[in-house]
A = this chain, B = another copy of it.
Amino acid sequence: MSIQHALLVSLLERPSTGYELANRFDRSIGYFWQATHQQIYRELARMAKKGWLRAEDAPEGGKRRRKIYHVLPAGRSALIEWVKTPELSLESTRGLLIKLRAEATLGPLGVEDELRELIEQHEARLHVYRNIERRDFSGRPLTRAQRLQYAVLRSGIVREESWLHWAREVLPLLATD
């Protein structure tokens, strides 16, 4: 569902055609999420149907058909409501980044609390990994096979650690004062 919210944020920043969104999918969101043009056209059509967007048919002098999508108040409200609703699964990082982006354009909406709780969950997962590391891969020489298995676990540890590092940097930016 949150591809729609990603598109709403992009369109709030700048009304665009589907094609433009497909190419950049916003310079920021594209850093961690790419969507195909079919996905984007589908979701734009759905949001237009729901009354979240207005499609301005703008052949601007020329005859090339292009629709510039603008966010309507209903879309804006839907986005704000979504940002305010915490998602607390470990897989909600993508959504969180979109929420940050939304806070950048819409002002403080309470993402701080969600981030705080996500940090706790990632810490817990890191601890689980660390325990497996201690139990299975420390204190004795490892075979080639074991070193490779360890490398897979390491990828999880490194991912969690760097995410936590990032999240703790971001937290003070969200402080509402």
Binding site for B on A (CB under 8 A): 27-29, 31-32, 97, 100-101, 103-105, 129, 132, 144-149, 151-156, 158-159, 161-163, 165-166, 169-170, 173-174
On whether A152 and B105 interact (CB within 8 A), knowing A158-B165, A173-B147, the answer reads no
A34 to chain B: closest residue by CB: B91
Q: Are B153 and A28 in contact (CB under 8 A)?
A: yes
Instruction: Name the B residues within 8 Å of A145 (CB-CB).
Output: 104-105
Q: Select A161's contact among B32, B101, B162, beta carbons within 8 Å.
A: B162
Q: Tell me whether B152 and A169 are in contact (CB under 8 A).
A: no
Given A147-B173, A159-B162, 5 more contacts at CB 8 Å? A29-B152, A32-B152, A32-B155, A32-B156, A144-B173
Q: How far is the CA of A105 from the CA of B146 in the complex (A)?
A: 9
